[in-house]
């Protein structure tokens, strides 16, 4: 049996629903279907932000917002000038979804529940008569007479306009290669580092306000808070490094040396001079008992221990050689990374449709008329904080506008 629609959106996730709803709102009589391979739609929305759904981030300047995207920065400048963070907030608030901005800039529904966002999408889809077809796996895509024919695990579908919003789906990428689109090989992005090291093995839960981390013998560098976990290191600094270094770290098979400056931008010579001053000013104090530079007691103790300074030693008795070792531990601690771990449930990949093959004014394929791409199916990804959803909303909005004009 062949089902005919004006527009088919493949992918029942955030960008797929956003595209379909915006299109249906502009063209009320259009026939739209969403095809989803799973039993449920919007699964990634459900688990995002720890079940709260980090809708976007409170960065309202397009050229600043693009800086959070390791891949897609240049391409998203124009789109963000068309539909940005403030537009997203207004869109949801127009549909009675109240949002809130948290201290770190992340934006959530006031209900603190992703179900609020899911319910909004499902209600809008129902209102506009959008057909949602689940458990339908697309097996082939073919362009015919200016439109598209899809063979699926259930039936065949035909449409005038096809929107691909499937995220990081290897099988869909294979199908798109069959119609001559180039796929940038996907690799993990946004992950934490596995590290076994005595200096941190008993420090699970310890965090620092601001550190600088580098990959040794590489240009890769990031700053931000760091969190010590039972498997190694996480936190914003590590996640940023993993995002910008996604492909290079993949090539290293996640085996490399991480250099950590626990004092962020303080350099070795400056720190050594301050430690020598401490030797004079705090002569009778026990070094290990009194943390310096705002470090926690537990972390300071381990770094002092790693510098081969006995835990009972006072500043007056410490040698220049020991202070040099301590300054090295503070400003250039070297940790062997052996593997990675996924960041929570929010698995993100770098890779997808080559951005050179997409018109970023309309999100239409440059190779085929009436074929559109939205969200993470593209070679676009961002750090954590609501930025990947912002890409989904913006690209979905542009695709919907472009299709609506044709009707």
Task: Read off the pLDDT of residues 151-188 as tens digits, 9 standing for 90 and up.
Answer: 999 999 999 999 999 999 999 999 999 999 999 999 99
Q: Is the pLDDT of residue 345 over 70?
A: no
Over residues 13-32, mean pLDDT:
97
Structure tokens at 75: 């391409």
Contact, 304 vs 267, CB < 8 A?
no
- Of 319, 291, 317, 321, the residue nearest 304 (C-alpha): 291
pLDDT in tens, 101-156: 999 999 999 999 999 999 999 999 999 999 999 999 999 999 998 899 999 999 99
* pLDDT tier at 346, thresholds 50, 70, 90: low
The whole-number pLDDT of residue 348 equals 81
- Provide φ and ψ at 135, rounded to 5°: 50, 45
Q: Are 231 and 254 in contact (CB under 8 A)?
A: no
Angstrom distances, CA of residue 48 to CA of 51, 84, 91, 255, 345: 5, 20, 19, 29, 8
Give the burial string for 131-140 (b: 16+ CB within 10 Å, else e): ebbeebebee
At residue 77's C-alpha, the angle toward residues 74 and 81, to 5°, is 175
* 84 touches 65 (CB < 8 A): yes
Rounded CA gap, 277 and 161, in Å? 71
Please state, as a whole number, how many other Cβ atoms lie within 10 Å of the Cβ of residue 350: 26
Determine contact, residues 259/267, Cβ cutoff 8 Å.
Answer: no
Among all chains, which residue has been given the structure tokens 């362009």?
143
């Amino acid at each position: 049996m062949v089902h005919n629609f004006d527009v088919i959106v493949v992918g029942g996730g955030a960008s797929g629903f956003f595209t379909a709803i915006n299109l249906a709102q502009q063209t009320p009589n259009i026939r739209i279907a969403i095809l989803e391979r799973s039993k449920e739609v919007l699964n990634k929305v459900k688990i995002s932000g720890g079940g709260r759904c980090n809708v976007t981030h409170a960065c309202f300047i397009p050229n600043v917002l693009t800086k959070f995207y390791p891949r897609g920065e240049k391409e998203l400048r124009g789109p963000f000038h068309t539909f940005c963070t403030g537009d997203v907030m207004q869109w949801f608030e127009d549909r009675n979804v109240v949002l809130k901005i948290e201290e770190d800039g992340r934006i959530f529904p006031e209900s603190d529940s992703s179900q609020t966002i899911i319910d909004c999408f499902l209600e809008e889809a129902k209102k506009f008569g959008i057909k949602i077809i689940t458990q339908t796996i697309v097996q082939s895509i073919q362009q015919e007479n200016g439109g598209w024919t899809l063979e699926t695990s259930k039936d065949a579908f035909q449409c005038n306009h096809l929107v691909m919003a499937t995220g990081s789906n290897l099988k869909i990428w294979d199908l798109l290669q069959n119609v001559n689109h180039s796929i940038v090989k996907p690799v993990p992005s946004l992950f934490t580092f596995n590290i076994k090291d005595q200096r941190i093995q008993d420090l699970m839960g310890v965090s620092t306000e601001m550190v600088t981390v580098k990959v040794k013998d590489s240009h890769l560098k990031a700053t931000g808070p760091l969190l010590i976990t039972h498997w190694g290191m996480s936190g914003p600094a590590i996640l940023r490094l993993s995002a910008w270094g996604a492909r290079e770290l993949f090539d290293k098979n996640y085996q490399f040396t991480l250099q950590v400056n626990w004092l962020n931008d303080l350099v070795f010579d400056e720190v050594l001079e301050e430690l020598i001053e401490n030797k004079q000013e705090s002569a009778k104090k026990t070094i290990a008992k009194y943390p310096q530079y705002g470090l926690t007691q537990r972390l300071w103790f381990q770094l002092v221990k790693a510098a081969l300074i006995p835990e009972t030693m006072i500043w007056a008795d410490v040698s220049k050689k020991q202070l040099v070792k301590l300054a090295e531990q503070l400003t250039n601690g070297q940790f062997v990374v052996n593997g990675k771990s996924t960041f929570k449930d929010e698995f993100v990949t770098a890779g997808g449709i080559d951005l050179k093959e997409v018109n970023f004014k309309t999100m239409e394929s440059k190779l085929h008329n009436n074929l559109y791409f939205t969200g993470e199916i593209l070679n676009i990804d961002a750090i954590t904080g609501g930025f990947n959803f912002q890409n989904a909303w913006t690209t979905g909005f542009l695709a919907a506008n472009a299709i609506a004009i044709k009707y």
